[in-house]
Structure 1
């Protein structure tokens, strides 16, 4: 077992017992539209939704200094082991529980050095 996998297992166990900050969530992407030859949308595509565990926290100082920062932005920590695939700024995180429940648009994405979590700046969607 890798260190990120071990950390995720421990964090999920504590959170499921009500002792940790990670809550059930979904990373969601809109469908990729299908266009006809004239450039008109024929179908909006199939949306993608993948389960994950997310912690909502205060933004980092680096996030405050980033272009586009707003006072109500938050830090979203997504355990990598709980999300199938990568995370990008096209995603919306749907946090399903806790005081910060709701949909958050992903404004920036970075991965910690160990690969344990995606560190995102989020904004209410």
Structure 2
């Protein structure tokens, strides 16, 4: 049985090198919680999805789009849905809230159990 973790965080403009991105990232109020579908896990689908998110001045998501695919549409769709439901603090520049576009990476990775004993315990 394989186990997974979905790791997500915001990238800064320096890391992503995207022109439209601000120099500083914003923070989550409610982080994305992507669903790793059992069929994707069974088929061994893994990958990094880069989601472009547009925030309004209140920090609400105005739109999301696929910047870079994982190569698996189920993972891409899950990442897009999760980021669309996330809540962000407003982006601020020079103290003023403003609209901003960020890239949010969502990583889907299957992990083996920590030890063979864990595998036995979990499968009982």
* TM-score tier after normalising by the smaller chain length: under 0.3
| TM-score, with length taken from structure 1 | 0.28
More helix by share: 2
Q: Which has the higher contact order (CA 8 A, sep 6+)?
A: 2
| TM-score, with length taken from structure 2 | 0.28
Structure showing greater Rg:
2
